[in-house]
A = this chain, B = another copy of it.
């Protein structure tokens, strides 16, 4: 039992005028109410009343998955997000809705503890009959997470108690014992939820069930000593040899849900990217909780390395393949639909952040190799995902969303936002993520005596962390205009006798950084600059400076993409047609000179009131001589383009698709070579 419950998210207060504070305000002021309205309009809000809804008769978009199958989780994620925000803000309407929803959920629970809309109202006889394709346990996991957030806020177990009862039923139904189903969810989520629950309850059943799901997954002989559980289950359903859902490119493509082999045997990250992230989040957490999980820890690290090194976009996005919403082969990272695909689902990048957060926490507690030392590389990727692949998923007003986040638009997939999705996983997930944001900013560890506090600062902004130490508190305040400016002022307050050391992440992209000169001599370890307690004792205020400058980034050469993109600090940039009115081909024929002069402008967009640093490149553009007609595959004839624009303007990728325009956008531009 090592890694502690993460409490930094609830103990962090953001400056509402800071970048992150503003994003959170948008969610609180707009998104939660907007989504509440959508929940009501679509029937989700009342669904736990267990009445029939006309949409239950709809033909599913992706058989055999009913369109309404995720409704439980949509509601649960909204409750969870709402509870995070209600920690800081009062809001009568939101609070009333949470209470009403909780009452409905309580009333929907069956006498035996079962709690699911579809399998109570529509197909009660099919409970636990298709763990592979249906989202029964996934929904349960989100309800558990909602219950934990609810209990933390309201200090009662009105939602937690029924969920504990439901988990008891699951624990009795699924497991290794004779008479139990030896199964595990096709869409992981309950594993990470059970581990969060366990840290709250310390009920060994909760740990055991999570560990069982993680350990049993991919067992080739799990069903009955000779068959894969999903094979046995599918046979029991009477499925035919060639019968398979749309997302399976092949029969038995169980890598789709990371169940082709046991996790500890997986060498590369495969399949549906959200499922992979949720699964590994639980695995990384388990490594930190339970001793003896070294092999699982090695698998988590191996799969992380494979993902970040070979299957992650410049924006942090993951998943190139639309059919299975997931990973392609190593280095297969086309930017858009017309180049071979690009998925980069918002939820998947939220999953990357969750995984990174668990890995940081587990490593702080020595879970991976015994050394209690987080690795800044995890935080680098967490921050990359946050500022780019996640934030791009929500509009500045918090009312429009993207599900897929391609790095380049095309005629078939313009860079545009939607108001909602049939499978509405992403919008409430962004809201929930921003609610929990403090949990990603820093990790705190207090020794058992309550004398020494170590704080790892992973992300920067303007926020204050409160760490309870015995009866008193330590506060750490950071003030900055991050991600627009690189100066961060820290102020630490500790009660007498409590020693606080700070460990400040120096991003791997930072070519230089400054701390007060004595600190520059302190050994730099795993991506964190150490500010020792001995120094903090006498210097409660100090400043870190990480100069933010435009830089040129490129994908791995094995991606076969000779492109460059601009970045500044943690932000990756894109070009949009609204700033570059001449574009008519999604910037596909643009050749960009990476040595051109680039200037920065701090500006505020009048329509959205969004403040950001834009970049402008001068005399950087020429155009590809695009072959018009090819008599042979190898003999292009040339066409010259006319005038070339003198400037090319870039905005942060997260800001794309917030203004009017044609929906033409591109991150990586063809590199001008000598």
The count of residues in chain A whose C-beta lies closer than 8 Å to any C-beta of chain B is: 64
| In the complex, per-residue mask of A544-563: 1 if CB is within 8 Å of any chain B CB, else 0 | 00000000011111101110
**Is A332's CB within 8 Å of the partner chain B?**
yes
Q: Does the CB pair A328–B314 fall under 8 Å?
A: no
Chain B proximity of A130: nearest CB distance (Å): 12
Interface residue A520 (Cβ < 8 Å from any Cβ of B): no
Is there contact, CB below 8 Å, between B673 and A381?
no
Residue in chain B with minimal CB distance to A412: B329
Task: Judge whether A305 and B629 touch: CB under 8 Å.
Answer: yes
Would you call A601 an interface residue if the criterion is a C-beta within 8 Å of the partner chain's C-beta atoms? no
CB-CB < 8 A to A338: which residues of B? 329-331
The interface bits of chain A over 296-310 (1 if a CB of B lies within 8 angstroms of the residue's CB, else 0) are 000000000100111
Q: Is A95 an interface residue (CB 8 A)?
A: no
Q: Which residues of B contact A340 (CB under 8 A)?
A: 328-329, 332, 340
Which of B240, B508, B674 sits near A674, CB closer than 8 Å?
B674
Q: Does A371 contact B (CB under 8 A)?
A: no
Stretch binding the partner chain, chosen from A198-206, A462-470, A630-638, A655-663: A630-638
Q: Does A380 contact B (CB under 8 A)?
A: yes
The interface-forming segment of A163-171, A246-254, A494-502 is A246-254
Contact of A380 among B243, B313, B329, B631 (CB under 8 A): B631
**CB atoms of B245 and A631 under 8 A apart:** no
Please, which residues of chain B bring their CB within 8 A of the CB of A381? 632
A323 an interface residue at 8 Å Cβ cutoff? yes
A275 at the interface (CB under 8 A from B): no
Measured between beta carbons, the chain B residues less than 8 angstroms from A557 are: 624, 626, 636, 670
B242 A63 Cβ-Cβ under 8 A: yes
Residues of B within 8 A of A337 (CB): 329
Which residues on the B side are within 8 Å of A245 (C-beta)?
242
Q: Are A508 and B635 in contact (CB under 8 A)?
A: yes
A22 within 8 A of partner (CB): no
User: Could you mark each residue 54-71 of chain A with 1 if its beta carbon is under 8 Å from any beta carbon of chain B, else 0?
Assistant: 000000000110000000
Residues from chain B with Cβ under 8 Å of A630 in the complex: 308-310, 556
Seen from chain A, the residues whose Cβ lies within 8 Å of a Cβ on chain B are 63-64, 240-246, 249-251, 305, 308-310, 312-314, 316, 323, 328-332, 334, 337-340, 377, 380-381, 384, 508-509, 527, 553-558, 560-562, 565, 567, 588, 624, 626-627, 629-636, 670, 673-674
Ordered nearest first, which 9 A-B pairs have the shortest CB separation? A674-B674, A673-B673, A553-B634, A309-B630, A312-B633, A562-B562, A377-B631, A243-B243, A508-B631
**A and B contact pairs by CB, cutoff 8 A, 6 listed:** A309-B630, A329-B340, A332-B339, A334-B560, A377-B631, A380-B632
